[in-house]
Structure 1
Amino acid sequence: MKMNLKNILLAAMLLMATPMVNAQFLTASDTSENSVKRYKSIINANKEIVDFIEYSLVQKGLPRHLRNLALIESHFNRNITSGAGAVGVWQFMTAHANQYGLTEQNRNDLYKSTKTAAVSLANLYKKYNNWITVVAAYNCGEGNIAKAMAAANSSQYHVFYKFLPEETINHVKKYLNACYATGELQAVLSNYNSSRMNTVFFADGGSKKDNSQLAETDINAGFNLNIIADELDVDMEKLLSWNPGISDELKQKGQSTLYLPTDLMPDFLLRKTKILSRSVKESNTPTIRQ
Protein backbone atom coordinates (compact mmCIF):
# COMPACT_ATOMS: atom_id res chain seq x y z
CA MET A 1 0.00 0.00 0.00
CA LYS A 2 1.48 3.34 -1.03
CA MET A 3 1.14 6.18 1.43
CA ASN A 4 2.86 9.53 1.18
CA LEU A 5 3.96 11.58 4.19
CA LYS A 6 0.90 13.82 4.04
CA ASN A 7 -1.43 10.81 4.25
CA ILE A 8 0.51 9.39 7.18
CA LEU A 9 0.37 12.69 9.07
CA LEU A 10 -3.33 13.03 8.28
CA ALA A 11 -4.04 9.56 9.61
CA ALA A 12 -2.06 10.20 12.79
CA MET A 13 -3.82 13.49 13.49
CA LEU A 14 -7.27 12.07 12.85
CA LEU A 15 -6.51 9.05 14.99
CA MET A 16 -5.80 11.33 17.93
CA ALA A 17 -8.93 13.37 17.29
CA THR A 18 -11.42 10.58 16.59
CA PRO A 19 -12.72 8.87 19.72
CA MET A 20 -12.86 5.09 19.85
CA VAL A 21 -16.17 3.39 20.39
CA ASN A 22 -15.65 1.56 23.64
CA ALA A 23 -17.42 0.43 26.77
CA GLN A 24 -19.47 3.62 26.85
CA PHE A 25 -21.71 2.27 24.09
CA LEU A 26 -20.77 -0.93 22.30
CA THR A 27 -20.10 -3.49 24.97
CA ALA A 28 -21.64 -6.47 26.68
CA SER A 29 -24.81 -5.43 28.50
CA ASP A 30 -24.89 -8.61 30.59
CA THR A 31 -21.58 -9.78 32.02
CA SER A 32 -23.12 -11.69 34.89
CA GLU A 33 -21.79 -15.09 35.86
CA ASN A 34 -25.15 -16.65 35.01
CA SER A 35 -25.07 -15.19 31.49
CA VAL A 36 -21.53 -16.42 30.85
CA LYS A 37 -22.34 -19.88 32.19
CA ARG A 38 -25.51 -20.10 30.10
CA TYR A 39 -23.75 -19.30 26.82
CA LYS A 40 -20.82 -21.60 27.58
CA SER A 41 -23.18 -24.39 28.58
CA ILE A 42 -25.02 -24.20 25.25
CA ILE A 43 -21.72 -24.28 23.35
CA ASN A 44 -20.39 -27.22 25.37
CA ALA A 45 -23.63 -29.16 24.91
CA ASN A 46 -23.35 -28.82 21.13
CA LYS A 47 -19.63 -29.36 20.68
CA GLU A 48 -19.83 -31.37 17.44
CA ILE A 49 -22.05 -28.77 15.78
CA VAL A 50 -19.87 -25.92 17.06
CA ASP A 51 -16.70 -27.63 15.81
CA PHE A 52 -18.23 -28.05 12.35
CA ILE A 53 -19.42 -24.43 12.25
CA GLU A 54 -16.03 -23.09 13.33
CA TYR A 55 -14.26 -25.28 10.77
CA SER A 56 -16.58 -24.01 8.03
CA LEU A 57 -16.03 -20.39 9.06
CA VAL A 58 -12.25 -20.72 9.13
CA GLN A 59 -12.29 -22.42 5.72
CA LYS A 60 -14.08 -19.35 4.39
CA GLY A 61 -11.60 -17.00 6.08
CA LEU A 62 -14.14 -15.86 8.66
CA PRO A 63 -13.60 -15.42 12.42
CA ARG A 64 -14.66 -18.15 14.81
CA HIS A 65 -16.74 -15.74 16.89
CA LEU A 66 -19.41 -15.83 14.17
CA ARG A 67 -20.39 -19.17 15.68
CA ASN A 68 -22.04 -16.94 18.30
CA LEU A 69 -24.50 -15.75 15.67
CA ALA A 70 -25.85 -19.30 15.40
CA LEU A 71 -25.74 -19.47 19.19
CA ILE A 72 -28.09 -16.51 19.65
CA GLU A 73 -30.16 -17.32 16.56
CA SER A 74 -31.09 -20.89 17.46
CA HIS A 75 -28.96 -22.26 20.32
CA PHE A 76 -27.63 -24.57 17.55
CA ASN A 77 -31.04 -26.26 17.21
CA ARG A 78 -31.36 -27.30 13.56
CA ASN A 79 -35.06 -28.11 13.94
CA ILE A 80 -36.22 -24.80 15.37
CA THR A 81 -38.66 -22.54 13.50
CA SER A 82 -39.26 -18.97 14.63
CA GLY A 83 -42.63 -17.26 14.76
CA ALA A 84 -41.63 -15.32 11.65
CA GLY A 85 -40.86 -18.53 9.75
CA ALA A 86 -37.06 -18.58 10.02
CA VAL A 87 -35.73 -22.14 10.07
CA GLY A 88 -32.69 -24.02 11.32
CA VAL A 89 -29.43 -23.29 13.09
CA TRP A 90 -28.89 -20.13 11.06
CA GLN A 91 -32.57 -19.12 11.05
CA PHE A 92 -32.86 -18.62 7.30
CA MET A 93 -36.00 -16.95 6.01
CA THR A 94 -37.17 -18.33 2.66
CA ALA A 95 -36.17 -15.21 0.69
CA HIS A 96 -32.70 -15.09 2.25
CA ALA A 97 -32.17 -18.79 1.58
CA ASN A 98 -33.33 -18.49 -2.03
CA GLN A 99 -30.94 -15.60 -2.57
CA TYR A 100 -28.05 -18.03 -2.07
CA GLY A 101 -29.58 -21.10 -3.66
CA LEU A 102 -30.51 -22.82 -0.40
CA THR A 103 -33.82 -24.59 -0.86
CA GLU A 104 -36.60 -24.16 1.66
CA GLN A 105 -36.31 -27.84 2.59
CA ASN A 106 -32.55 -27.55 3.25
CA ARG A 107 -32.74 -24.67 5.69
CA ASN A 108 -32.50 -27.12 8.60
CA ASP A 109 -29.66 -29.07 6.96
CA LEU A 110 -26.65 -28.21 9.12
CA TYR A 111 -24.04 -28.73 6.39
CA LYS A 112 -25.82 -26.85 3.60
CA SER A 113 -27.16 -24.04 5.77
CA THR A 114 -23.76 -23.43 7.39
CA LYS A 115 -22.01 -23.28 4.02
CA THR A 116 -24.69 -20.85 2.84
CA ALA A 117 -24.44 -18.74 6.00
CA ALA A 118 -20.67 -18.46 5.56
CA VAL A 119 -21.11 -17.13 2.01
CA SER A 120 -23.81 -14.70 3.16
CA LEU A 121 -21.70 -13.41 6.06
CA ALA A 122 -18.64 -13.00 3.84
CA ASN A 123 -20.68 -10.96 1.36
CA LEU A 124 -22.11 -8.78 4.12
CA TYR A 125 -18.62 -8.13 5.46
CA LYS A 126 -17.41 -7.04 2.02
CA LYS A 127 -20.25 -4.53 2.03
CA TYR A 128 -20.08 -3.21 5.61
CA ASN A 129 -16.49 -3.96 6.68
CA ASN A 130 -17.32 -4.63 10.34
CA TRP A 131 -18.94 -7.53 12.13
CA ILE A 132 -21.35 -5.51 14.25
CA THR A 133 -23.14 -4.10 11.22
CA VAL A 134 -23.00 -7.57 9.62
CA VAL A 135 -24.83 -9.06 12.61
CA ALA A 136 -27.44 -6.30 12.42
CA ALA A 137 -27.90 -6.80 8.66
CA TYR A 138 -28.21 -10.57 9.07
CA ASN A 139 -31.08 -9.97 11.47
CA CYS A 140 -33.08 -7.20 9.79
CA GLY A 141 -31.90 -7.25 6.18
CA GLU A 142 -29.78 -4.94 4.08
CA GLY A 143 -32.78 -2.80 3.17
CA ASN A 144 -33.39 -1.80 6.78
CA ILE A 145 -29.69 -1.06 7.25
CA ALA A 146 -29.74 1.22 4.20
CA LYS A 147 -32.80 3.06 5.52
CA ALA A 148 -31.21 3.53 8.95
CA MET A 149 -27.97 4.81 7.43
CA ALA A 150 -29.90 7.27 5.28
CA ALA A 151 -31.98 8.48 8.22
CA ALA A 152 -28.87 9.00 10.36
CA ASN A 153 -26.73 10.28 7.48
CA SER A 154 -24.01 7.92 8.69
CA SER A 155 -22.64 4.48 7.86
CA GLN A 156 -21.48 3.87 11.43
CA TYR A 157 -23.56 1.54 13.58
CA HIS A 158 -23.20 3.53 16.80
CA VAL A 159 -24.82 6.47 14.98
CA PHE A 160 -27.53 4.79 12.86
CA TYR A 161 -28.55 1.99 15.26
CA LYS A 162 -31.36 4.10 16.78
CA PHE A 163 -33.20 3.90 13.44
CA LEU A 164 -33.17 0.09 13.41
CA PRO A 165 -35.94 -2.20 14.70
CA GLU A 166 -35.75 -2.79 18.44
CA GLU A 167 -35.38 -6.52 17.79
CA THR A 168 -32.21 -5.89 15.78
CA ILE A 169 -30.71 -3.61 18.43
CA ASN A 170 -31.32 -6.31 21.03
CA HIS A 171 -29.89 -8.93 18.67
CA VAL A 172 -26.61 -7.03 18.46
CA LYS A 173 -26.57 -6.72 22.25
CA LYS A 174 -27.03 -10.49 22.57
CA TYR A 175 -24.18 -11.05 20.14
CA LEU A 176 -21.86 -8.83 22.19
CA ASN A 177 -22.94 -10.64 25.37
CA ALA A 178 -22.16 -14.00 23.75
CA CYS A 179 -18.76 -12.74 22.57
CA TYR A 180 -18.02 -11.56 26.10
CA ALA A 181 -18.83 -15.04 27.37
CA THR A 182 -16.50 -16.65 24.82
CA GLY A 183 -13.69 -14.14 25.42
CA GLU A 184 -13.95 -12.57 21.96
CA LEU A 185 -15.63 -9.24 22.69
CA GLN A 186 -12.45 -7.20 22.36
CA ALA A 187 -11.74 -8.66 18.93
CA VAL A 188 -15.22 -7.62 17.76
CA LEU A 189 -14.86 -4.09 19.14
CA SER A 190 -11.34 -3.73 17.73
CA ASN A 191 -12.65 -4.76 14.33
CA TYR A 192 -15.39 -2.12 14.58
CA ASN A 193 -12.98 0.63 15.58
CA SER A 194 -10.58 -0.37 12.81
CA SER A 195 -13.46 -0.12 10.35
CA ARG A 196 -14.27 3.36 11.66
CA MET A 197 -10.68 4.47 11.11
CA ASN A 198 -10.70 3.16 7.56
CA THR A 199 -13.95 4.99 6.90
CA VAL A 200 -12.60 8.24 8.30
CA PHE A 201 -9.09 8.09 6.85
CA PHE A 202 -8.78 6.22 3.59
CA ALA A 203 -10.47 4.99 0.45
CA ASP A 204 -9.29 3.11 -2.65
CA GLY A 205 -6.68 0.99 -0.92
CA GLY A 206 -5.01 3.73 1.08
CA SER A 207 -5.23 6.84 -1.06
CA LYS A 208 -6.49 9.99 0.56
CA LYS A 209 -10.19 10.60 0.25
CA ASP A 210 -11.39 13.34 -2.03
CA ASN A 211 -13.29 16.34 -0.74
CA SER A 212 -16.64 14.55 -0.98
CA GLN A 213 -15.53 12.21 1.80
CA LEU A 214 -15.56 13.52 5.31
CA ALA A 215 -13.55 13.04 8.46
CA GLU A 216 -15.08 13.66 11.86
CA THR A 217 -14.19 14.99 15.28
CA ASP A 218 -16.23 16.07 18.28
CA ILE A 219 -16.77 19.69 19.31
CA ASN A 220 -18.71 21.30 22.13
CA ALA A 221 -20.92 24.36 22.33
CA GLY A 222 -17.90 26.55 23.04
CA PHE A 223 -17.02 26.52 19.34
CA ASN A 224 -18.48 29.23 17.13
CA LEU A 225 -19.32 27.93 13.67
CA ASN A 226 -18.65 31.30 12.05
CA ILE A 227 -15.14 31.32 13.45
CA ILE A 228 -14.53 27.75 12.30
CA ALA A 229 -15.56 28.79 8.79
CA ASP A 230 -13.41 31.92 8.97
CA GLU A 231 -10.29 30.09 10.18
CA LEU A 232 -10.68 27.39 7.52
CA ASP A 233 -11.54 29.94 4.83
CA VAL A 234 -14.75 28.20 3.78
CA ASP A 235 -18.24 29.57 3.24
CA MET A 236 -20.68 29.07 6.09
CA GLU A 237 -23.13 27.57 3.62
CA LYS A 238 -20.56 24.95 2.69
CA LEU A 239 -19.75 24.19 6.32
CA LEU A 240 -23.43 23.67 7.08
CA SER A 241 -23.88 21.45 4.03
CA TRP A 242 -21.30 19.10 5.56
CA ASN A 243 -23.00 19.38 8.96
CA PRO A 244 -26.79 19.62 8.61
CA GLY A 245 -28.49 20.37 11.92
CA ILE A 246 -25.25 21.01 13.81
CA SER A 247 -26.35 24.42 15.15
CA ASP A 248 -29.47 22.97 16.77
CA GLU A 249 -27.58 19.99 18.14
CA LEU A 250 -24.93 22.20 19.73
CA LYS A 251 -27.61 24.37 21.32
CA GLN A 252 -29.70 21.46 22.57
CA LYS A 253 -27.04 18.94 23.58
CA GLY A 254 -23.97 21.12 24.09
CA GLN A 255 -21.90 18.95 21.77
CA SER A 256 -21.91 17.52 18.27
CA THR A 257 -19.81 15.74 15.68
CA LEU A 258 -18.12 18.09 13.22
CA TYR A 259 -17.63 16.74 9.70
CA LEU A 260 -14.99 18.21 7.40
CA PRO A 261 -13.33 17.08 4.16
CA THR A 262 -10.22 15.08 4.96
CA ASP A 263 -7.94 17.74 3.49
CA LEU A 264 -9.41 20.39 5.83
CA MET A 265 -9.44 18.35 9.03
CA PRO A 266 -5.68 18.75 9.72
CA ASP A 267 -6.07 22.53 9.48
CA PHE A 268 -8.91 22.44 11.99
CA LEU A 269 -6.96 20.24 14.39
CA LEU A 270 -3.90 22.46 14.19
CA ARG A 271 -6.00 25.57 14.86
CA LYS A 272 -8.45 24.00 17.28
CA THR A 273 -7.13 25.80 20.35
CA LYS A 274 -7.04 29.13 18.53
CA ILE A 275 -10.57 28.61 17.18
CA LEU A 276 -11.91 27.82 20.63
CA SER A 277 -10.13 30.81 22.14
CA ARG A 278 -11.61 33.13 19.51
CA SER A 279 -15.02 31.54 19.99
CA VAL A 280 -14.98 32.14 23.73
CA LYS A 281 -13.92 35.75 23.27
CA GLU A 282 -16.36 36.61 20.50
CA SER A 283 -19.36 34.48 21.34
CA ASN A 284 -20.53 32.16 24.08
CA THR A 285 -22.81 30.24 21.72
CA PRO A 286 -22.15 28.69 18.29
CA THR A 287 -24.78 30.75 16.50
CA ILE A 288 -24.64 31.79 12.87
CA ARG A 289 -24.25 35.45 12.12
CA GLN A 290 -27.02 36.85 10.02
Structure 2
Amino acid sequence: MNSLRVVFTIMLLWIGSGSVFGQFLSATDTSENSVRRYKTIINANKDIVKFIEYSLVQKGLPRHLRNLALIESSFNTNVISGAGAVGVWQFMTSHANQYGLSEQNRNDLYKSTKTAVVSLSNLYKKYNNWVTVVAAYNCGEGNISKAMQAAGSSQYHIFYKYLPAETINHVNKYLNACYATGELQSVLANYNSSRMNTVFLVNGGSKISRPELAETDINAGFNLKVIADELHVNVDQLLAWNPGINETLQRKGESSFYLPMDLMPDFLMRKNKILSRSIKESSPVSQ
Protein backbone atom coordinates (compact mmCIF):
# COMPACT_ATOMS: atom_id res chain seq x y z
CA MET A 1 0.00 0.00 0.00
CA ASN A 2 2.98 2.33 0.54
CA SER A 3 3.70 2.38 -3.20
CA LEU A 4 0.10 3.39 -3.83
CA ARG A 5 0.46 6.28 -1.41
CA VAL A 6 3.57 7.37 -3.31
CA VAL A 7 1.59 7.36 -6.56
CA PHE A 8 -1.20 9.35 -4.91
CA THR A 9 1.29 11.91 -3.57
CA ILE A 10 2.90 12.32 -6.99
CA MET A 11 -0.52 12.88 -8.56
CA LEU A 12 -1.45 15.52 -5.99
CA LEU A 13 1.77 17.39 -6.67
CA TRP A 14 1.27 17.06 -10.42
CA ILE A 15 -2.32 18.24 -10.41
CA GLY A 16 -1.76 20.88 -7.74
CA SER A 17 1.11 22.47 -9.59
CA GLY A 18 -1.24 23.56 -12.37
CA SER A 19 1.54 22.83 -14.85
CA VAL A 20 -0.74 20.90 -17.16
CA PHE A 21 -3.35 23.63 -17.48
CA GLY A 22 -3.06 25.33 -20.83
CA GLN A 23 0.06 23.36 -21.71
CA PHE A 24 -1.27 22.35 -25.11
CA LEU A 25 -4.19 24.70 -25.81
CA SER A 26 -5.06 28.29 -25.03
CA ALA A 27 -7.30 31.14 -26.11
CA THR A 28 -6.13 32.87 -29.28
CA ASP A 29 -7.92 36.17 -28.66
CA THR A 30 -8.05 37.56 -25.13
CA SER A 31 -8.48 41.17 -26.19
CA GLU A 32 -10.94 43.48 -24.46
CA ASN A 33 -12.94 43.72 -27.67
CA SER A 34 -13.32 39.96 -27.87
CA VAL A 35 -14.35 39.63 -24.24
CA ARG A 36 -16.79 42.53 -24.54
CA ARG A 37 -18.34 41.12 -27.72
CA TYR A 38 -19.09 37.72 -26.19
CA LYS A 39 -20.39 39.18 -22.93
CA THR A 40 -22.65 41.59 -24.80
CA ILE A 41 -24.28 38.76 -26.76
CA ILE A 42 -24.84 36.76 -23.57
CA ASN A 43 -26.32 39.72 -21.71
CA ALA A 44 -28.64 40.47 -24.61
CA ASN A 45 -30.06 36.93 -24.53
CA LYS A 46 -30.36 36.24 -20.80
CA ASP A 47 -33.59 34.23 -21.00
CA ILE A 48 -32.25 31.93 -23.71
CA VAL A 49 -28.94 31.52 -21.89
CA LYS A 50 -30.75 30.70 -18.64
CA PHE A 51 -32.84 28.01 -20.34
CA ILE A 52 -29.81 26.48 -22.08
CA GLU A 53 -27.78 26.40 -18.87
CA TYR A 54 -30.70 24.83 -17.00
CA SER A 55 -31.02 22.14 -19.69
CA LEU A 56 -27.29 21.39 -19.54
CA VAL A 57 -27.14 21.17 -15.76
CA GLN A 58 -30.21 18.91 -15.67
CA LYS A 59 -28.25 16.37 -17.72
CA GLY A 60 -25.03 16.79 -15.76
CA LEU A 61 -23.26 18.81 -18.45
CA PRO A 62 -21.15 21.92 -17.78
CA ARG A 63 -22.62 25.39 -18.20
CA HIS A 64 -19.76 26.45 -20.48
CA LEU A 65 -21.39 24.47 -23.29
CA ARG A 66 -23.75 27.40 -23.60
CA ASN A 67 -20.78 28.98 -25.40
CA LEU A 68 -21.19 26.47 -28.21
CA ALA A 69 -24.59 27.98 -29.01
CA LEU A 70 -23.00 31.40 -28.57
CA ILE A 71 -20.41 30.83 -31.31
CA GLU A 72 -22.76 28.78 -33.47
CA SER A 73 -25.59 31.30 -33.73
CA SER A 74 -25.24 34.13 -31.19
CA PHE A 75 -28.46 32.54 -29.76
CA ASN A 76 -30.45 33.48 -32.88
CA THR A 77 -33.20 30.88 -33.34
CA ASN A 78 -33.83 31.90 -36.94
CA VAL A 79 -30.29 32.00 -38.32
CA ILE A 80 -29.49 29.78 -41.32
CA SER A 81 -25.90 29.14 -42.35
CA GLY A 82 -24.65 28.97 -45.92
CA ALA A 83 -24.39 25.20 -45.54
CA GLY A 84 -28.03 24.95 -44.46
CA ALA A 85 -27.57 24.60 -40.68
CA VAL A 86 -30.52 26.04 -38.76
CA GLY A 87 -31.25 27.52 -35.36
CA VAL A 88 -29.45 28.23 -32.11
CA TRP A 89 -27.53 24.94 -32.29
CA GLN A 90 -27.05 25.06 -36.07
CA PHE A 91 -28.37 21.57 -36.77
CA MET A 92 -27.90 20.14 -40.23
CA THR A 93 -30.82 17.99 -41.39
CA SER A 94 -28.83 14.73 -41.13
CA HIS A 95 -27.61 15.51 -37.61
CA ALA A 96 -31.11 16.47 -36.49
CA ASN A 97 -32.67 13.35 -37.99
CA GLN A 98 -30.11 11.20 -36.20
CA TYR A 99 -31.71 12.26 -32.90
CA GLY A 100 -35.31 12.41 -34.05
CA LEU A 101 -35.44 16.20 -34.47
CA SER A 102 -37.50 17.10 -37.51
CA GLU A 103 -36.20 19.51 -40.11
CA GLN A 104 -38.97 21.95 -39.21
CA ASN A 105 -38.09 21.89 -35.50
CA ARG A 106 -34.43 22.76 -35.89
CA ASN A 107 -35.17 26.40 -35.03
CA ASP A 108 -37.35 25.46 -32.05
CA LEU A 109 -35.27 26.52 -29.03
CA TYR A 110 -36.73 23.95 -26.64
CA LYS A 111 -36.68 20.90 -28.91
CA SER A 112 -33.31 21.72 -30.47
CA THR A 113 -31.70 22.32 -27.07
CA LYS A 114 -33.02 19.00 -25.79
CA THR A 115 -31.51 17.34 -28.86
CA ALA A 116 -28.21 19.20 -28.52
CA VAL A 117 -27.85 18.09 -24.91
CA VAL A 118 -28.26 14.43 -25.89
CA SER A 119 -25.84 14.81 -28.81
CA LEU A 120 -23.18 16.52 -26.68
CA SER A 121 -23.55 13.92 -23.95
CA ASN A 122 -23.03 11.10 -26.46
CA LEU A 123 -20.00 12.80 -27.95
CA TYR A 124 -18.44 13.23 -24.51
CA LYS A 125 -18.89 9.53 -23.75
CA LYS A 126 -16.91 8.83 -26.91
CA TYR A 127 -14.12 11.45 -26.68
CA ASN A 128 -13.93 12.18 -22.95
CA ASN A 129 -13.03 15.86 -23.33
CA TRP A 130 -15.00 18.92 -24.36
CA VAL A 131 -12.44 20.28 -26.82
CA THR A 132 -12.75 17.25 -29.09
CA VAL A 133 -16.52 17.28 -28.57
CA VAL A 134 -16.72 20.84 -29.90
CA ALA A 135 -14.60 19.85 -32.90
CA ALA A 136 -16.75 16.78 -33.59
CA TYR A 137 -19.95 18.80 -33.26
CA ASN A 138 -18.67 21.10 -35.99
CA CYS A 139 -17.18 18.71 -38.54
CA GLY A 140 -18.66 15.31 -37.66
CA GLU A 141 -17.28 12.16 -36.10
CA GLY A 142 -16.08 10.86 -39.45
CA ASN A 143 -13.69 13.76 -39.94
CA ILE A 144 -12.42 13.39 -36.36
CA SER A 145 -11.70 9.71 -36.99
CA LYS A 146 -9.82 10.50 -40.22
CA ALA A 147 -7.75 13.19 -38.49
CA MET A 148 -6.85 10.84 -35.64
CA GLN A 149 -5.78 8.15 -38.08
CA ALA A 150 -3.71 10.60 -40.14
CA ALA A 151 -1.95 11.93 -37.03
CA GLY A 152 -1.64 8.56 -35.32
CA SER A 153 -3.03 10.15 -32.17
CA SER A 154 -6.31 10.69 -30.33
CA GLN A 155 -5.05 13.95 -28.79
CA TYR A 156 -6.65 17.08 -30.25
CA HIS A 157 -3.48 19.19 -29.94
CA ILE A 158 -1.77 16.64 -32.21
CA PHE A 159 -4.47 15.68 -34.72
CA TYR A 160 -6.11 19.11 -35.11
CA LYS A 161 -3.87 20.01 -38.07
CA TYR A 162 -5.68 17.36 -40.14
CA LEU A 163 -9.11 18.91 -39.51
CA PRO A 164 -10.86 21.44 -41.77
CA ALA A 165 -9.71 25.02 -41.17
CA GLU A 166 -13.29 25.94 -40.27
CA THR A 167 -13.27 23.40 -37.42
CA ILE A 168 -9.92 24.57 -36.07
CA ASN A 169 -11.25 28.12 -36.10
CA HIS A 170 -14.44 26.94 -34.40
CA VAL A 171 -12.53 25.39 -31.52
CA ASN A 172 -10.46 28.55 -31.19
CA LYS A 173 -13.65 30.61 -30.99
CA TYR A 174 -14.97 28.30 -28.29
CA LEU A 175 -11.81 28.70 -26.20
CA ASN A 176 -11.98 32.47 -26.70
CA ALA A 177 -15.62 32.53 -25.59
CA CYS A 178 -14.76 30.44 -22.53
CA TYR A 179 -11.98 32.90 -21.71
CA ALA A 180 -14.54 35.71 -21.89
CA THR A 181 -16.90 33.88 -19.52
CA GLY A 182 -14.12 32.94 -17.09
CA GLU A 183 -14.37 29.21 -17.83
CA LEU A 184 -11.29 28.58 -19.98
CA GLN A 185 -9.29 27.05 -17.14
CA SER A 186 -12.05 24.54 -16.50
CA VAL A 187 -12.12 23.52 -20.17
CA LEU A 188 -8.33 23.15 -20.31
CA ALA A 189 -8.28 21.23 -17.04
CA ASN A 190 -10.87 18.84 -18.45
CA TYR A 191 -8.83 18.38 -21.64
CA ASN A 192 -5.60 17.67 -19.81
CA SER A 193 -7.21 15.47 -17.14
CA SER A 194 -8.50 13.21 -19.92
CA ARG A 195 -4.83 12.46 -20.69
CA MET A 196 -3.89 11.77 -17.08
CA ASN A 197 -4.19 8.75 -14.82
CA THR A 198 -5.88 10.09 -11.71
CA VAL A 199 -5.54 7.84 -8.65
CA PHE A 200 -7.72 8.05 -5.55
CA LEU A 201 -7.29 6.51 -2.11
CA VAL A 202 -10.59 6.15 -0.25
CA ASN A 203 -11.22 5.39 3.43
CA GLY A 204 -7.61 5.17 4.49
CA GLY A 205 -6.41 3.65 1.24
CA SER A 206 -8.91 0.80 0.97
CA LYS A 207 -10.01 1.55 -2.59
CA ILE A 208 -8.37 2.65 -5.82
CA SER A 209 -10.14 4.13 -8.84
CA ARG A 210 -8.28 4.89 -12.07
CA PRO A 211 -8.80 4.78 -15.82
CA GLU A 212 -7.74 1.59 -17.56
CA LEU A 213 -4.08 1.35 -18.50
CA ALA A 214 -2.62 -0.52 -21.47
CA GLU A 215 0.52 -2.63 -21.05
CA THR A 216 3.58 -3.22 -23.22
CA ASP A 217 7.26 -4.01 -22.59
CA ILE A 218 10.35 -1.82 -22.79
CA ASN A 219 14.03 -2.49 -22.20
CA ALA A 220 16.72 -0.48 -20.46
CA GLY A 221 17.59 1.27 -23.72
CA PHE A 222 14.52 3.48 -23.41
CA ASN A 223 14.93 6.89 -21.80
CA LEU A 224 11.87 8.06 -19.85
CA LYS A 225 12.65 11.70 -20.61
CA VAL A 226 12.53 10.94 -24.32
CA ILE A 227 9.30 8.97 -23.97
CA ALA A 228 7.73 11.84 -22.03
CA ASP A 229 8.85 14.39 -24.60
CA GLU A 230 7.53 12.36 -27.54
CA LEU A 231 4.15 11.81 -25.85
CA HIS A 232 3.87 15.38 -24.53
CA VAL A 233 3.55 14.32 -20.89
CA ASN A 234 5.59 15.01 -17.77
CA VAL A 235 8.25 12.52 -16.60
CA ASP A 236 6.66 12.49 -13.15
CA GLN A 237 3.42 11.39 -14.81
CA LEU A 238 5.18 8.43 -16.43
CA LEU A 239 6.60 7.49 -13.05
CA ALA A 240 3.13 7.74 -11.50
CA TRP A 241 1.82 5.30 -14.09
CA ASN A 242 4.90 3.10 -13.64
CA PRO A 243 6.07 3.23 -10.00
CA GLY A 244 9.47 1.62 -9.48
CA ILE A 245 10.18 1.26 -13.21
CA ASN A 246 13.71 2.73 -13.00
CA GLU A 247 14.77 0.14 -10.41
CA THR A 248 13.19 -2.68 -12.43
CA LEU A 249 14.97 -1.59 -15.62
CA GLN A 250 18.30 -1.36 -13.81
CA ARG A 251 17.86 -4.72 -12.12
CA LYS A 252 16.33 -6.78 -14.95
CA GLY A 253 17.13 -4.77 -18.08
CA GLU A 254 13.45 -4.80 -19.04
CA SER A 255 10.08 -3.96 -17.54
CA SER A 256 6.37 -3.84 -18.18
CA PHE A 257 5.36 -0.34 -19.23
CA TYR A 258 1.92 1.15 -18.62
CA LEU A 259 0.16 4.03 -20.36
CA PRO A 260 -3.49 5.15 -20.56
CA MET A 261 -5.39 3.50 -23.39
CA ASP A 262 -5.47 6.68 -25.47
CA LEU A 263 -1.69 7.22 -25.27
CA MET A 264 -0.49 3.68 -25.94
CA PRO A 265 -1.11 3.83 -29.74
CA ASP A 266 1.02 7.00 -29.88
CA PHE A 267 3.87 5.24 -28.07
CA LEU A 268 3.73 2.10 -30.20
CA MET A 269 3.77 4.12 -33.43
CA ARG A 270 6.85 6.04 -32.24
CA LYS A 271 8.54 3.16 -30.42
CA ASN A 272 11.46 2.69 -32.82
CA LYS A 273 12.04 6.43 -33.09
CA ILE A 274 11.91 6.78 -29.31
CA LEU A 275 14.42 3.97 -28.83
CA SER A 276 16.82 5.42 -31.39
CA ARG A 277 16.59 8.85 -29.81
CA SER A 278 16.98 7.34 -26.32
CA ILE A 279 20.18 5.59 -27.30
CA LYS A 280 21.58 8.80 -28.77
CA GLU A 281 20.73 10.93 -25.78
CA SER A 282 21.23 8.18 -23.17
CA SER A 283 20.73 10.30 -20.08
CA PRO A 284 19.34 8.27 -17.14
CA VAL A 285 16.25 9.42 -15.27
CA SER A 286 16.07 8.95 -11.54
CA GLN A 287 13.07 9.05 -9.29
Q: Deviations over 1:129-188 (max 9, x none)?
A: 111111111111111111111222221111111111111111110001000111111111
Change (3 A) 1:180 1:249: farther
Match of 1:211 in 2: 215
Mapped pair 1:99 → 2:92: no
CA distance in 2, matches of 1:188, 1:28: 11
Letter in 2 for 1:246: K
8 Å Cα contact 2:80/2:87 also seen in 1: yes
Identity of aligned residues (%): 64
Change (3 A) 1:182 1:208: closer
Mapped pair 1:132 → 2:131: yes
SS in structure 2 at match of 1:30: coil
Change (3 A) 1:164 1:14: farther
Q: Deviations over 1:235-260 (max 9, x none)?
A: 9xxxx845256369969xx99xxxxx
8 Å Cα contact 1:17/1:217 also seen in 2: no
Change (3 A) 1:197 1:15: farther
Letter in 2 for 1:56: S
What is the CA distance between 1:17 and its match in structure 2? Answer: 8.2
SS in structure 2 at match of 1:171: helix
CA distance in 2, matches of 1:164, 1:234: 39
Match of 1:27 in 2: 26
TM-score, L = length of structure 2:
0.72
What is the CA distance between 1:9 and its match in structure 2? Answer: 3.9
Unaligned runs of 5+ in 1: 221-227, 256-267, 275-290
Q: Tell me which moved more, 134-143 or 241-250.
A: 241-250
CA distance in 2, matches of 1:206, 1:247: 27
8 Å Cα contact 2:20/2:189 also seen in 1: no
CA distance in 2, matches of 1:21, 1:164: 24
Q: Tell me which moved more, 96-105 or 24-33.
A: 24-33
CA distance in 2, matches of 1:213, 1:140: 37
SS in structure 2 at match of 1:72: helix
Match of 1:277 in 2: none
Match of 1:272 in 2: 285
Letter in 2 for 1:272: V
What is the CA distance between 1:88 and its match in structure 2? Answer: 0.5
8 Å Cα contact 1:20/1:193 also seen in 2: no
Q: Tell me which moved more, 211-220 or 90-99.
A: 211-220
CA distance in 1, matches of 2:8, 2:166: 36
Letter in 1 for 2:253: D
SS in structure 1 at match of 2:27: coil
What is the CA distance between 1:25 and its match in structure 2? Answer: 3.9
CA distance in 2, matches of 1:42, 1:158: 29
Change (3 A) 1:103 1:218: same
CA distance in 2, matches of 1:83, 1:66: 23
What is the CA distance between 1:34 and its match in structure 2? Answer: 0.7
8 Å Cα contact 1:76/1:89 also seen in 2: yes
What is the CA distance between 1:195 and its match in structure 2? Answer: 1.1
Match of 1:233 in 2: 253
Change (3 A) 1:92 1:5: farther
Alignment of 1:1-290 (within 5 A): 5-7=2-4, 9-10=6-7, 20-23=19-22, 25-198=24-197, 206=210, 209-212=213-216, 217-218=228-229, 233-234=253-254, 241=268, 243-244=270-271, 246=273, 271-272=284-285
